[in-house]
A and B are shown apart, each in its own frame.
Chain A
Amino acid sequence: AQTVTQSQPEMSVQEAETVTLSCTYDTSESDYYLFWYKQPPSRQMILVIRQEAYKQQNATENRFSVNFQKAAKSFSLKISDSQLGDAAMYFCAYRFSIPVSMIYNQGGKLIFGQGTELSVKP
């Protein structure tokens, strides 16, 4: 079964500095999709960034970028110029490709890791 592991329960970063959150996943598939979601204290789930496994280029969204290492099954999130508003729980998530989801009745669900709590120090 596909699993997602976030080995850092908590991380801390100084405001304006850069921090990297780790995520590894286990899959035997070659095509899949990866996501990072942010959950601030309001508990709302907010999409941060997404990556298609067939794309070699790492995704970027403003101050957020990923380091996607397919062979290592690693999908880390880098936050540059950290801001106080970045303080939140961050979840890494895996999604099956369409053929696999159809074969194994997985639908479009996301499989989430346990999360990393990021604090930002002023």
Chain B
Amino acid sequence: DSGVTQTPKHLITATGQRVTLRCSPRSGDLSVYWYQQSLDQGLQFLIQYYNGEERAKGNILERFSAQQFPDLHSELNLSSLELGDSALYFCASSPSDRVPNSPLHFGNGTRLTVT
């Protein structure tokens, strides 16, 4: 168990809808990262937050947004969903990105299926 909790585990929704994915980092971790893994693909970095502030941004679509709350949990909001958004969405956490050899600890992911 990595200590990173993601909910829900599975999500099935229709095109055009909006969903929210939730992540609770490991206790003490201040950084949260979101990744997208499409079928048979590697992990694509979406966005990172550190202690409530956006730290780095990847190829995140404008339809997607995220935030990190004062209690350090994070939410990834996906709107106007398209079939191509179907993927496994991972959240990961680390104590700080100022300790670069500290690995990212990943949650079990949320499987999103858009029909």
Residues of A within 8 A of B (CB): 33, 35, 37, 42-47, 50, 52, 91, 95-98, 101, 105-115
Let me know if A107 and B97 touch, CB within 8 A: yes
Let me know if B109 and A43 touch, CB within 8 A: yes
Q: Is B84 an interface residue (CB 8 A)?
A: no
Contacts A43-B108, A108-B31 hold; do A50 and B42 have CB atoms under 8 A apart? no
Q: Is B14 an interface residue (CB 8 A)?
A: no
Tell me the total A-B contact number using a CB cutoff of 8 A: 74
Docked CA distance A60–B82 (Å): 43
Question: Cβ of A109: which chain B residues have Cβ within 8 Å of it?
Answer: 33, 45, 48, 56, 58
Nearest residue, chain A, Cβ from B2: A44
Instruction: Give B53-68 as 1s and 0s: 1 = Cβ < 8 Å from A's Cβ atoms.
Output: 0011110000000000
Residues of B within 8 A of A (CB): 2, 31, 33, 41-43, 45, 48, 50, 55-58, 88, 90, 92, 94, 96-98, 100-106, 108-109
Question: Cβ of B108: which chain A residues have Cβ within 8 Å of it?
Answer: 42-44
Tell me, rounded to whole Å, the shortest Cβ–Cβ distance linking A98 to chain B. 6
Nearest residue, chain A, Cβ from B88: A43
Let me know if B41 and A114 touch, CB within 8 A: yes
Docked CA distance A97–B58 (Å): 17
Docked CA distance A50–B43 (Å): 18
Question: Cβ of A52: which chain B residues have Cβ within 8 Å of it?
Answer: 101
Question: Cβ of B104: which chain A residues have Cβ within 8 Å of it?
Answer: 47, 108, 110
Tell me, rounded to whole Å, the shortest Cβ–Cβ distance linking A88 to chain B. 14
30 contacts between A and B (CB under 8 A): A35-B103, A43-B88, A44-B2, A44-B106, A44-B108, A45-B43, A45-B92, A45-B106, A50-B103, A97-B100, A105-B56, A105-B57, A107-B31, A107-B56, A108-B31, A108-B33, A108-B50, A108-B55, A108-B56, A109-B48, A110-B33, A110-B43, A110-B45, A110-B104, A111-B45, A112-B42, A112-B43, A113-B42, A114-B42, A115-B42
